[in-house]
Amino acid sequence: MNTENQKKIAAEKATESIRSGMVVGLGTGSTVYYALLKLGAMVREGLDIVGIPTSAGTEKIAIAEQIPLATLATHPTLDLTIDGADEVDKDLNLIKGGGAALVREKIIANTSKKILIVVDESKVSRVLGTTFPLPVEIVRFGWEATQTEVNRICGESTLRLAPAQDGNQHPLITDNGNYILDCHFDGIPAPKEIELRLNNIPGVVENGIFVNRADKIIIGTSSGIRYMG
């Protein structure tokens, strides 16, 4: 089974946990995309849920799929969130934010009763921070000074760029109006400590380390579905 199919079976498996009446956190990314398509089909067949999207991109897909949406203002507690990840370890720690949605994803994760993470097998790692650079969202004001402080922890980081309308690469602006630094670690042996140290730097909004948040990781593999948690 190729990677795309691995993503699809994991994401669709996660939607089997969704029941009418639930408030559902809608994660971001190319894996969750398949869950959104499936949920859309389920809603059109009568499933009665509201979804809270973790990004403008997910909001757009959910609207196209006719999934009713809500906000944390009216629905402060979520029953279940389905989200992706960029790297996962055996302790269910995650690196997220490859799609620049980490701040909203962490806010939603924090208020969700249950979190299902959907990935393909390439995301599973022995030591977190060895296969994917850690995204750190920072405010634009004084960002160079913030980067200097971040680099004291990770050694080296790069400002994430994205193609703009003029055809050139410009700093990527998140849904929250901020920049992303991608931090190159050679493994993160103590993820919680690094999460807290990074978030203590003035100018850092949030980082993509998620510790003790996932309840289950659903992994699409070449031979079918595997679970962690």
Judged by the rule CB under 6 A, the positions of this chain that interact with ligand R5P are 27-31, 83-86, 96-102, 105
* Listed residue (9, 180, 221) closest to 96, CA to CA: 180
* Residue 30: CB minimum distance to ligand R5P, A: 3
- Considering the candidates 59, 105, 137, 206, report the single residue annotated as catalytic: 105
Taking the least distance from each CB to ligand R5P, the nearer of 148 and 222 is: 222
The values of phi and psi at residue 117, to 5°, are: -105, 130
Cβ of 211: how many Cβ atoms within 10 Å? 18
One-letter amino acid at 110 equals: N
| Beta carbon nearer to ligand R5P, 145 or 220 | 220
Q: Indicate the residue whose CB is closest to ligand R5P.
A: 29
Minimum CB–partner distance for residue 139 and ligand R5P (Å): 18
Closest to 26 in 3D by CA, of 2, 9, 43: 43
* CA nearest to 96, candidates 132, 120, 53, 61: 132
For ligand R5P, the closer of residues 20 and 199 by Cβ is 199
Q: How far is the CB of 96 from ligand R5P (least distance, A)?
A: 3
Closest separation in Å from C-beta 21 to ligand R5P:
25
- Give the closest residue to 134 by CA, choosing from 197, 193, 180: 180
Query: Do residues 151 and 157 lie in contact, with contact meaning Cβ atoms separated by under 8 Å?
Result: yes
Closest C-alpha to 78, from 103, 58, 49:
49
Nearer to ligand R5P, 44 or 226 (CB): 226
| DSSP-assigned states of every residue in 18-68 | --TT-EEEE--STTHHHHHHHHHHHHHTT---EEEESSHHHHHHHHHTT--
4: annotated active-site residue: no
* Minimum distance of ligand R5P from residue 85's CB (angstroms): 6
Structure tokens at 4: 């795309």
Q: Is 133 or 203 the residue whose CB approaches ligand R5P more closely?
A: 133
- Catalytic site positions: 105
